[in-house]
Amino acid sequence: MSYPLPDDVEHLDTLARAIDPQRYSARVVRGYALPFLRVISLAAPALTERITVRRDATGSLSFWWSWNERLGPAHDVGRAVQKIITVLGPVTADERAGGTPEEDATGSPA
């Protein structure tokens, strides 16, 4: 595992600032061997994730999920935010039932 340099950790700060504070709590946690970004859904606080930043096998700086899967390149903050909110976005009752928010219970547009 390649540990980040102090300048690399600034990417976590950038990612934290890009996440909507009205919907998510995003805080960089330092003081551990590997700093991380803790993201918590404010609508469903049980939905939480720890994002780290480190170099991948090719030496490119990347964001990583807590399960050690590469989230994406650190320079593509917009795409990383989209992936994070997809994972942490609460599921509505309509979505659990297989519909979309625009459909009623019959599957017809509302």
Q: Is residue 66 part of a domain?
A: yes
Answer with the residue of higher pLDDT: 92 or 37.
37
Q: What is the DSSP letter of 45?
A: T
Q: Is residue 107 part of a domain?
A: no
Q: Assign 99 a pLDDT band (cuts: 50, 70, 90).
A: low
pTM of the model: 0.77
Q: Is residue 104 part of a domain?
A: no
Q: Degrees (nearest 5) of the Cα angle 2, 35, 31?
A: 120
Distances (CA, A) of 37 to 2, 72, 94, 95, 97: 17, 15, 31, 28, 32
Find the domain containing 70 and state its range.
Answer: 6-96
Q: Is residue 15 part of a domain?
A: yes
pLDDT digits (tens, 9 = 90+) for 12-37: 999 999 999 999 999 999 877 789 99
pLDDT at 32: 73
Contacts of 23 (CB under 8 A, 6+ apart): 41, 42, 43, 85
